[in-house]
């Protein structure tokens, strides 16, 4: 019993540490700035980090499969600019939103195919994807395009009140990320697809020899990431009511960091979607502490996220070597 408990602890060690760090960080923030104790601040984490969470969910699955997707930020920017430009031309949101989702899926599918069939390393192919998407975004518009569509405005500005809590609200687009989170959790944990993703990440060769559909799964993982990035782009453009090619610069690292902090192993095969949620919440809390402070500059966020990632890579290698020894 004790041994089973110990192995459970080791298996979920990074997840527990992540959770503990989030609680500790939030607690410290609450002690420093009493205003942070209000429930609205917690829900603001979801409002402000919806698109990062979406992108990170896709990234987590890609990393579990042993790949990496550096194009997420670019695709997000491209989606925001393309949808803003289309809306400006008077196209109905009922057409624009599905079109953007299809574009994200196609983009992800193209990258997955290049990686799988042409044997290009994932980071090269997706780095090209990043620059290609940003380049396209700049071709569409060099400047920020504002969105004046009434439906988008309705989505952006209508608060949804949380039951049982007075004066606490979220917005409609905020719901997208948690829904995708549950969907991804279900996909990864309870479907054949999810198990195949883990198997490929552990060893692609043996997954292939076991007769698992490697080709289909590998490409679908990038398709899923493309879908997540497109959704993130839509959420982002709704929350800012604009589209711009420079949106989300460096979001790749934030997403990778969230996945790593959440316990996903960068070598693939190990990972947890819910860990990613806490990874996002941790970096979101850093941002809100900096905002509450008000005097620290924004680049501290980037640096602290970088340092946190580094620390977690260290913790991971510690736990991973433990697990190997215990086997």
Partner 1 sequence: MNKTSLLDRIRGNRLTLPLAALVLILVFDAFYAPSFFKIRIQDGHLYGNLIDVLNNGAPLALVALGMTLVIATGGVDLSVGAVIAISAAMGAVLINPALGNELISNAILTRDATNTPLPIILLATLAAGSLCGFWNGFLVSRARIQPIVATLILMVAGRGIAQLITNGQIMTIYYTPYFWFGNGYILGLPVSIYIVAAVFLLAWVLVRKTSIGMFIESVGINAKASFYSGISEKNVKLLAYTFCGFCAAVAGLILSSYVHSADGNNNGLNYELDAILAVVMGGTLMTGGRFSLLASVIGAMVIWTFALTVYTLGVPANALLAAKAVLVMIVILLYSDVAKRLTGRLFRRKGA
Taking CB under 8 A as the binding criterion, the range among 150-158, 219-227, 229-237, 259-267 that sits at the site for partner 1 is 259-267
CB of 141 to partner 1, least distance (A): 9
Q: Which of 16, 85, 99, 136 binds partner 1 (CB under 8 A)?
A: 136
Q: Which structure tokens are listed for 193?
A: 């697809």
Q: Which structure tokens are listed for 165?
A: 């809590």
Q: CB–CB of 88/113 below 8 Å?
A: no
Question: How many whole angstroms separate alpha carbon 279 and alpha carbon 145?
Answer: 31
Neighbours of 285 (CB within 10 A): 21
Q: Rank residues 69 and 171 by Cβ distance to partner 1 and give the closer one.
A: 69
Taking CB under 8 A as the binding criterion, the range among 79-87, 119-127, 236-244, 278-286 that sits at the site for partner 1 is 119-127
Q: Which structure tokens are listed for 161?
A: 């009140």
Query: Of 98, 54, 55, whose CA–CA distance to 73 is shortest?
Result: 55
Interface with partner 1, residue 106, by CB under 8 A: no
HEC readout, 209-271? HCCCCHHHHHHHHHHHHHHHHHHHHHHHHHHHCEECCCCCCCHHHHHHHHHHHCCCCCCCCCC
Question: How many whole angstroms separate alpha carbon 171 and alpha carbon 46?
Answer: 10
CB of 237 to partner 1, least distance (A): 19
Interface with partner 1, residue 320, by CB under 8 A: no
Interface with partner 1, residue 210, by CB under 8 A: no
Residue with tokens 């988008």: 152
Q: Which of 95, 183, 307, 311 binds partner 1 (CB under 8 A)?
A: 307
Interface with partner 1, residue 98, by CB under 8 A: no
Kindly state the DSSP code that residue 144 receives in the 8-state scheme. Answer: P
Interface with partner 1, residue 186, by CB under 8 A: no
Q: Interior CA angle at 53 toward 52 and 56, to 5°?
A: 85
Interface with partner 1, residue 297, by CB under 8 A: yes
The residues in 55-84 that bind partner 1, with binding defined as CB under 8 A, are 68, 70
Neighbours of 128 (CB within 10 A): 16
Taking CB under 8 A as the binding criterion, the range among 46-54, 87-95, 183-191, 304-312 that sits at the site for partner 1 is 304-312
Interface with partner 1, residue 129, by CB under 8 A: yes
Neighbours of 35 (CB within 10 A): 11
Q: Which structure tokens are listed for 217?
A: 């799964």
Q: Which of 7, 31, 92, 121 binds partner 1 (CB under 8 A)?
A: 121
Query: Which helix H or strand E contains 207, and what residues bound it?
Result: helix 204-209
Q: Rank residues 190 and 318 by Cβ distance to partner 1 and give the closer one.
A: 318
CB of 183 to partner 1, least distance (A): 27
Q: Which of 132, 224, 247, 274 binds partner 1 (CB under 8 A)?
A: 132
Q: Which residues bind to partner 1, rule: CB under 8 A?
A: 68, 70, 114, 117-121, 123-125, 127-129, 131-132, 134-136, 138-139, 142, 245, 250, 252-253, 256, 260, 266-267, 297, 299-300, 302-303, 305-307, 309-310, 313-314, 317
């Amino acid at each position: 019993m004790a041994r089973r408990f110990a192995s459970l602890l080791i298996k979920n060690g990074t997840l527990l540490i992540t959770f503990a760090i989030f609680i500790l960080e939030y607690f410290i923030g609450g002690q420093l700035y009493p205003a942070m104790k209000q429930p609205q601040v917690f829900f603001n984490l979801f409002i402000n980090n919806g698109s990062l969470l979406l992108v990170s969910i896709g990234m987590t699955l890609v990393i579990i499969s042993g790949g990496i997707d550096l194009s997420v930020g670019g695709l997000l920017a491209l989606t925001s600019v393309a949808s803003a430009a289309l809306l400006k031309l008077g196209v109905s949101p009922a057409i624009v939103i599905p079109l953007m989702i299809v574009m994200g899926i196609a983009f992800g599918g193209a990258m997955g195919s290049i990686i799988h069939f042409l044997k290009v390393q994932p980071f090269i192919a997706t780095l090209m994807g990043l620059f290609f998407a940003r380049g396209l975004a700049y071709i569409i518009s060099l400047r920020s395009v504002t969105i004046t569509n009434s439906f988008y405005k309705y989505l952006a500005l209508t608060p949804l009140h949380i039951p049982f809590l007075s004066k606490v609200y979220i917005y409609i687009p905020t719901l997208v990320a948690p829904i995708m989170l549950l969907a991804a959790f279900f996909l990864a944990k309870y479907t054949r697809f999810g198990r195949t993703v883990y198997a490929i990440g552990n060893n692609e060769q043996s997954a292939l020899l076991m007769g698992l559909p490697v080709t289909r799964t590998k490409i679908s993982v990038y398709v899923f990431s493309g879908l997540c990035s497109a959704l993130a782009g839509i959420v982002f453009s709704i929350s800012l009511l604009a589209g711009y090619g420079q949106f989300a610069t460096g979001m790749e690292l934030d997403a990778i960091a969230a996945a790593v902090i959440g316990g996903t192993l960068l070598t693939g095969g190990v990972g947890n979607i819910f860990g990613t949620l806490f990874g996002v919440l941790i970096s979101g809390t850093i941002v809100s502490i900096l905002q509450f402070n008000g005097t620290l500059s924004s680049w501290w966020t980037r640096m602290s996220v970088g340092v946190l990632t580094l620390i977690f890579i260290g913790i991971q290698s510690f736990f991973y070597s433990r697990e190997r020894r215990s086997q």
